[in-house]
Structure 1
Amino acid sequence: MIIADGGRGLPGAGDLVVAAGAGVTGLPVVRYLARIGASVLVTSNRPAPAGLAEIAGDVTFAGDLMSVPQGCSLVVTSAGIPPSHPLLASALAADIEVIGETELAWRIDQASGSPRPWLVVTGTNGKTTTIGLLEAMLQAAGRQVTACGNVGWPVIEAVLAGGPLEPWQQQPRQDLIAAELSSFQLHYAPSLRPRAGLLLNLAEDHLDWHGSMAAYAQAKALALTGDIAVAVRDRPVDHGSGRFRPRLRGENHPDPTAESLLRAAPAGIKVEVIDGVPADGQIGVTAAGGAETVVDQAFGHGRLFAAADLRLPGRHNVTNAMAAAALALAVDVPPPAIRQGVRAFTPGAHRNQPVAEIGGVRYVNDTKATNPHAAAASLLAYQRVVWIAGGQLKGATVDELVARIADRLAGVVLLGVDAQVIEDALGRHAPDVPRISVGRTDDGAMDEAVRAAATLAAPGTVVLLAPAAASLDMFSSYAARGDAFARAVAALDRP
């Protein structure tokens, strides 16, 4: 076992390492371990992927292991496997360290002799939009960087790019590591200390994996353990117009979880992103002459960009852009590059993505809204909505969401395994809103849902797929659900 900076271990030649999971991040981990001469035992509850046989070295596929083998010195696990899994539990009981791909990548970088600054984005919602904005700002400043982690390529590939262990890759060495990290990835990355880490928000999600909201928050808080900690202090308040403007006195609705985690963070510098006029140590927004301007009072740069520069609907996205700017400023990106990045950025698919307008009704795909907090941000961006909702709630509650958006609902179409939970909440908080339930779970379910939504929609209404739930009860992924929605809308538009 080779000891990296900070006393953390890296596997070496001859070490027996268990790689739990052989998916998108698992294969690069196995490839790295084999190239440094470790003996790799790959375990998965799925058949061995074809790419595994192409990896040269001492690599063995062991099927679905329930306990660590004798002589194992380290387990590198896929982030999706919970700590309660028998394999991981047996490793911990035997005092064998269990880490994730992100932690392994961090240790590799720290031991390289020329570690890069790391910028980390986490939160329940908004991560992918924010990391995309950050990537655009960094690239506008001439930095060689491509976002990694929970989006794009695995962190370990970003760390190894351009180095001797990745000769087949055409990617150049990264100037810094910009990573979107989930709570799972952070849980398995205990020694990660980024140059700057961002916590966007916290709401109920993945409670089935973490076991409690406290454990979920504890994992997210690991992003705030580096040099600079950034958090969004409060949630935007909807004012009905859909425009972003500062809060009035008495309007503030602080998020005590994010605020308390920022206060408790060990970082030497703490930055708040606020929906209002910023004070020292904050990035916020001012309004003059009807124009909203984002202003930096944390790093001393003053005006950064106009809210109108952002080509994204919803005031929450201005908050995302402010938060991305905080991370960019942490690595000395100048304000002109931040403005250029904001103006250049276009959102990825399946995130508040307009699909069509038919008969004065707009159809919008936000299938990425896989929890109630994300769905709220999406729903509050529109004045009158027919909401397509349902799927796997993962233990989250929806009463607060439904109460908050009830006055915007022109109708609701429900589908998926937890549709009844949303139906019950509608009965309590929006009993007069018409709703239609889709009972089928086959490939035609989304077609039926979209046709039903069209019957509830009048000109000027938005039919919004913002399910507030995960997709795997009916679809292979949230993207497949969004694609099904787009196909169903296209079918409506055909004569």
Structure 2
Amino acid sequence: MTGDSRPGFRGKHVTVAGLGVSGVPAARVLLGLGARVTVVNDGDDERSRQQAAELEALGAAVRLGDGATLPDGTELIVTAPGWRPDKPLFAAAAAAGVPVWGDVELAWRLRGPGAAPWLAVTGTNGKTTTVRMLAAILEAAGLRTAAVGNIGVSLLDAVLAGSEEGGEPYDVLAVELSSYQLHWAPSLRAHSATVLNLAPDHLDWHGSMEAYTADKGRIYEGNQVACVYNSADKATEELVRAADVEEGCRAVGFTLGTPGPSELGVVEGILVDRAFVPDRQRQAQELAEVADVSPPAPHNIANALAAAALARAYGVEPRAVRDGLRAFRPDAHRIEHVADVDGVAYVDDSKATNTHATEASLAAYDPIVWIAGGLAKGATFDELVRGAAGRLRGVVLIGRDRALIREALARHAPDVPVTDLGRTDTGAMAAAVREAADLARPGDTVLLAPACASMDMFTNYNKRGEAFADAVRDLGAGRGGQGR
């Protein structure tokens, strides 16, 4: 990028829609750039009032409990990514000819001369793990980088790093982007990007699977070097084919099988590259071993291959791929081994909040006592249960929408024992672990992979996973300390 194309904000009236983890940083940045900022927010709770007071002290006007009305004189809206496109505020903005950006769009437009390129990741599942793997690989290559975006780290802060006196800019950024963020980021043009996978999710927000898929596909628009897709998920390849990219940008696949030319894949336990080598027809470059990936479950190997592809697109050497993957450790509640008790492994995948993530989790173990249930978010479970039926030793159901899973089990796995606890209180998790232990045999895995959101019983999936881990530890202590 040459020249400074950052927009001028001094004196411009910008409305920030929503407080929270994206709205507050956006408002602060805009105020620092000299904009006249009005913040509108649907909520008017104690947390919102505290945030409002902080921003008012910096010079913003804040309207709590009124996120529907367009403030007079608004020239631009910067919205929190979770605000749905059908909100009245955006209809009013469209009628007035006022553009709407998300915080990602704002960050993209604020990049200065020589700004760090973005290696961008989206997908229904695996985004955070892949972005953190990518950052670990880039760090192993000696690059100054950060995992930012939907992962919970401010993209605005990362983009502006180095712009202040004494700041040190990044060499490259590993950016996680949700479908919400991509919807509101029309100008984004990444160095290279990947859509890891596609499955129905957030359809209440997008309105249809087609709209959800289209927003995911925005990540490929304008890619400079590589569009990385999942060879096992043809929908991701179709998004690459439809994208308008820079001349010379390549399509690069990743596969759990033997890779063809322009793919990364696996050969006899080795992650290999046939995309970023001088002779793709006859050469393959060893990158790492499957054993270097933690945990080495199939879907996590796919994440590692996607991260490696983006790093290789940026020019990272093979040794750094291996060293980065060896250094990486997954976040909690993502197929996390908690303990072994009486020869049974207990695994926490509370992050598996939809059927697609749970399908991948169930595919990693055999036989399984499965703990499932929660808020279904409109999901159906027949395909999931049909695919996993042969691996199930038993099932324990909790949560509000557990009947949907129970009915799918009756249709497709009628011989699998099912315990329906009929509970939605937080104490149900301890009971579920005890019931699962009674169903399990030595060599089995008790797997918490709920296929549902957690908010019917817990604050979030982290709290659900913590409750599972606590119950497993209590189980081990109660059986003579045999947990480890």
Deviation at 1:70, TM superposition (A): 1.6
1:137 matched to 2:137? The reply is yes
Deviation at 1:49, TM superposition (A): 4.9
Alignment map for 1:61-72 (pairs within 5 Å): 61-63=62-64, 64-72=66-74
Distance 1:459 1:93, change over 3 A: farther
1:42 matched to 2:25? The reply is no
Report the residue type matching 2:390 in the other structure: D
Task: Determine if contact 1:67/1:88 at 8 Å carries over to the other structure.
Answer: no
Task: Determine if contact 2:19/2:51 at 8 Å carries over to the other structure.
Answer: no
How many residue pairs get aligned? The number is 461
Report the residue type matching 1:53 in the other structure: A
Determine the C-alpha separation between the residues in 1 that align with 2:423 and 2:380: 23
Task: Determine if contact 2:372/2:402 at 8 Å carries over to the other structure.
Answer: yes
Deviation at 1:278, TM superposition (A): 2.2
Distance 1:171 1:321, change over 3 A: farther
Report the residue type matching 1:417 in the other structure: R
Determine the C-alpha separation between the residues in 2 that align with 1:392 and 1:94: 39
| Match of residue 468 from structure 1 | 451
Comparing 50-59 with 36-45, greater Cα deviation is found at 50-59
Deviation track 1:176-223 (CA, whole Å, cap 9, x = no partner) reads: 221111111111111101000011110111111111111111011011
State which of 266, 273, 282 in structure 1 corresponds to 2:263. 282
SS of residue matched to 1:89: helix
Determine the C-alpha separation between the residues in 1 that align with 2:96 and 2:160: 31
State which of 77, 84, 88 in structure 1 corresponds to 2:79. 77
Alignment map for 1:229-378 (pairs within 5 Å): 229-234=227-232, 255-267=233-245, 268-287=249-268, 291-300=269-278, 302-378=285-361
| Match of residue 237 from structure 1 | none
Task: Determine if contact 1:295/1:305 at 8 Å carries over to the other structure.
Answer: no
Deviation at 1:171, TM superposition (A): 7.5
Task: Determine if contact 2:335/2:347 at 8 Å carries over to the other structure.
Answer: yes
Deviation at 1:152, TM superposition (A): 4.0
Alignment map for 1:387-426 (pairs within 5 Å): 387-426=370-409
Misfit runs of 4+, over 3 Å: 54-57, 298-301
Report the residue type matching 2:58 in the other structure: G
SS of residue matched to 2:477: coil
Determine the C-alpha separation between the residues in 2 that align with 1:373 and 1:59: 42
Task: Determine if contact 1:11/1:17 at 8 Å carries over to the other structure.
Answer: no
Determine the C-alpha separation between the residues in 2 that align with 1:137 and 1:31: 32
Task: Determine if contact 1:11/1:74 at 8 Å carries over to the other structure.
Answer: no
Distance 1:86 1:449, change over 3 A: farther
Determine the C-alpha separation between the residues in 2 that align with 1:83 and 1:23: 18
Report the residue type matching 1:345 in the other structure: F
SS of residue matched to 1:70: coil
Deviation at 1:492, TM superposition (A): 1.8
Task: Determine if contact 2:4/2:113 at 8 Å carries over to the other structure.
Answer: no
SS of residue matched to 1:493: helix
1:428 matched to 2:411? The reply is yes
Determine the C-alpha separation between the residues in 2 that align with 1:299 and 1:18: 48
Task: Determine if contact 1:383/1:408 at 8 Å carries over to the other structure.
Answer: yes
Deviation at 1:51, TM superposition (A): 4.2
Report the residue type matching 1:84 in the other structure: D
Determine the C-alpha separation between the residues in 1 that align with 2:187 and 2:69: 25
Q: Any stretches of 5+ residues in structure 2 without a counterpart? A: 279-283, 479-484
Determine the C-alpha separation between the residues in 2 that align with 1:221 and 1:150: 16
Distance 1:359 1:61, change over 3 A: same
Deviation at 1:397, TM superposition (A): 2.3
Report the residue type matching 1:273 in the other structure: F
Distance 1:98 1:473, change over 3 A: farther
Comparing 53-62 with 118-127, greater Cα deviation is found at 53-62
Deviation track 1:338-378 (CA, whole Å, cap 9, x = no partner) reads: 11111111111110111111111111110111111110111
Determine the C-alpha separation between the residues in 1 that align with 2:270 and 2:407: 40
Q: Any stretches of 5+ residues in structure 1 without a counterpart? A: 235-254
Deviation at 1:265, TM superposition (A): 2.2
Distance 1:258 1:199, change over 3 A: same
Deviation at 1:450, TM superposition (A): 1.8
| Match of residue 22 from structure 1 | 19
Distance 1:488 1:69, change over 3 A: same
What TM-score comes out, normalization by structure 2 length? Answer: 0.91
| Match of residue 57 from structure 1 | 58
Determine the C-alpha separation between the residues in 2 that align with 1:151 and 1:171: 23
Task: Determine if contact 2:257/2:266 at 8 Å carries over to the other structure.
Answer: yes
Deviation at 1:299, TM superposition (A): 4.3
Deviation track 1:304-343 (CA, whole Å, cap 9, x = no partner) reads: 2222222313122112111101100111111111111111
Determine the C-alpha separation between the residues in 1 that align with 2:370 and 2:89: 41
Determine the C-alpha separation between the residues in 2 that align with 1:161 and 1:97: 26
Determine the C-alpha separation between the residues in 1 that align with 2:49 and 2:264: 46
Task: Determine if contact 1:124/1:202 at 8 Å carries over to the other structure.
Answer: yes
| Match of residue 190 from structure 1 | 186
| Match of residue 125 from structure 2 | 125
| Match of residue 482 from structure 2 | none
Report the residue type matching 1:368 in the other structure: K
State the superposition RMSD in angstroms. 1.9
1:177 matched to 2:178? The reply is no
Comparing 100-109 with 451-460, greater Cα deviation is found at 451-460
Determine the C-alpha separation between the residues in 2 that align with 1:58 and 1:274: 52
| Match of residue 247 from structure 1 | none
Distance 1:428 1:176, change over 3 A: same
Deviation track 1:376-425 (CA, whole Å, cap 9, x = no partner) reads: 11111101111111122222322111110011111111222221211111
SS of residue matched to 1:24: helix
